Structure 1
Amino acid sequence: MFRLLIAGIFAITAFATSASAAELVMFEQRGCIWCEAWDREIGPAYANTEEGKRAPLRRVDIQQEIPVDISYIPVERFTPTFVLVDDGKEIGRIRGYPGDEFFWFLLSDMLSKLDDKAS
């Protein structure tokens, strides 16, 4: 019984922690050439960057059911769409993939809003 109680507390704590952490949601779909370009140019390095550590990537296929925990995000049919979320709120979005340099610039701008929020 005690183990079950501890496991329950751990699960609730883990969910609460992950729900409030910033993440970058990438809405994509099969056959999207711009999603594929992002995958080639940014994807392999993203998780290892400061931006990727601050806002881990979460991929969501718009042709599938949207996960309940992010159902509050308006989904567009244009892919890729990147949505920065934090604490259950949308902070900003990038519609499309504008190339690697412009992507990093736009992402940096969105992440700076997290700093403004913390102040």
Structure 2
Amino acid sequence: MFGTLILLLPALVFGMRSAAADTELLMVEQTACEWCEAWNTEIGGVYARTEEGRRAPLRRQDLFGTWPDDIALKGQVHFTPTFILLRDGREVGRIEGYPGEHFFWPMLAQLLNRTSRDDATSKGDGS
């Protein structure tokens, strides 16, 4: 029994990582963007260590850079920073602009929680 558990442990751990890795927060930014710099100063250094950062690791994209093929957006990005919540590379929500740290965290939490509820409902787990 313990041998089976030991054999299954890596699969369980890696399985949990891949389930969490399908959600990312894409930060669209550009050079000399003062609001991008404000976000970097106020939040960028701690983001990865927060619950939100673990749920949706940060991925950066230059507004004028070449966009990767693995991202599907619902619409064009007009402002920087724009934060786009991606699930399996597809946009499920966004925050346009940086409203300051006191507004950013609740807006992001609402976005993450809404998309989690949407996932549970689509799987038949919600009410």
**TM-score (norm: length of structure 1):** 0.79
Amino acid at match of 2:77: E
Aligned pairs for 1:17-32 within 5 A:
17=18, 21-32=22-33
For residue 43 of structure 1, report the CA deviation from its aligned partner.
0.3
Give the Å deviation of 1:92: 0.9
CA deviation after TM superposition for structure 1 residue 42, in Å:
0.4
**Which stretches in structure 2 are left out of the alignment for 5+ residues?**
1-17, 121-125
Q: How far apart are residue 111 of structure 1 and its match?
A: 0.5
Whichever residue aligns with residue 47 of structure 1, its letter is: A
Corresponding position of 2:48: 47
- Identity across the alignment (%): 51
Q: In structure 1, the residue corresponding to 2:76 is in which secondary structure?
A: coil
Alpha-carbon RMSD across the aligned residues, in angstroms, is 2.2
Identify the residue that residue 59 of structure 1 maps to in structure 2: 60
Tell me by how many angstroms 1:88 deviates: 3.5
Answer whether contact 1:91 1:113 (CA < 8 A) is retained.
no
Find the counterpart in structure 2 of residue 8 from structure 1.
Answer: none
How far off is 1:77 after superposition? 2.6
Please list every run of 5 or more consecutive structure 1 residues that lacks an aligned counterpart in the other structure.
1-16
Give the aligned residue type for 2:25: L
Q: What secondary structure is seen at the aligned counterpart in 1 of 2:79?
A: coil
Aligned positions, number: 104
Residue number in structure 2 paired with 1:97: 98
Q: Alignment partner of 1:42: what SS?
A: helix
Shift in Å at residue 110 of structure 1? 0.3
CA radius of gyration, larger in = 2
Q: CA deviation at 1:58?
A: 0.3
SS of 2:109 mapped into structure 1: helix
How much does 1:49 deviate?
A: 0.1
